Amino acid sequence: MKIVITDMDTVTQNDLSFKGIESFGEVTSYGLTPENLVEERIKDADIVLCNKTPLHRDNLKNAEKLKYIGLFATGYNNIDIPYCKEKGIKVCNAPNYSTDAVAQLVFAFILELSNRVYDYKRLTDKGDWIKSRTFSMFPIPIMELKGKTLGIIGLGSIGRKTAEIGNAFGMKVIAYNRSRKEAENVVQADLETVLKESDILSLHCPLNSESENLINKDTIALMKDGAILINTSRGAVVNERDAADALKSGKLAGMGTDVLQKEPMSPDCPLYGAENCIITPHIAWAARETRERLLEIVENNIRGFIQGDIRNNVAD
């Protein structure tokens, strides 16, 4: 069985073992695969494993032996699902591997934007505390989370974990989801209510036709003055120009985002250098423990496919 990994460098920096996958067959791996080389590299594969490599009708059409696509990811918008259904190709993703890690980054953003730890570190590093007339100096406003309203859009596993942590901080948690979900200590409401009532708004929805550009100048206008926006879902959920304008005007007091519309980041990204905006390079899932869990799910998916016990098939 021939297995091709198209973008190994997006998953590991030589800190993970792929022996489990190698036990299933002959593995050929590429650090990254430019789109113009995808068709050639996968044409003889029985199994293709990828993270973000686009796989569509044009580059899949000559992969006549291909029966299985495994994703090093939960999202699968880079895969031509209708074509795979047509050809009987199984497409298996890796759900829920990053729940704790992403929720942890959400609160890293929230805590930094509410406590301004790095800003105070820079102030201290400059010697300002040495010159202070009083034992405590607090020129930069900070705030308590207790009693604040945490709004969540998308109550999947990550949204529910974020809500759980918010409750631990004594926050009031409200959420919008397209269909009602079971979630303890969460008030579920319509989208407009969540936008209007949130002191901090955290996005956890998948990217689709309904969520694309969801946060724009009109929806931001509904939010509280001085609200904080967190995005660890997909970059295209937020209109970056509108968010940058809201940060500049003070309508948004801060933003933390781990995702952008274009990745890697474009030098003309509207959020690049924006006031009170923290951007991290899509790292929420990058802890070694998280990636080890991801690899285990991918291995189990392949094993299930070989044994006739398909799991996590998003092309079904």
Catalytic residues: 234, 263, 282
115, two tokens: 């406590």
**Helix 99-115 with 288-306: angle, nearest 10 deg:** 160
Maximum CA pair distance of the chain? 76
**CA-CA distance, 39 to 36, in Å (whole number)?**
7
- In the DSSP assignment, the letter for residue 230 is E
CB contact burial 188-212 (16+ within 10 A = b; e otherwise):
bbeeeebbebbbbbbbbbebeeebe
Rg (CA), the chain: 22
Long-range contacts of 133-142 (CB under 8 A, 24+ apart): 140/116, 141/116, 142/114, 142/115, 142/116
**CA-CA distance, 192 to 275, in Å (whole number)?**
26
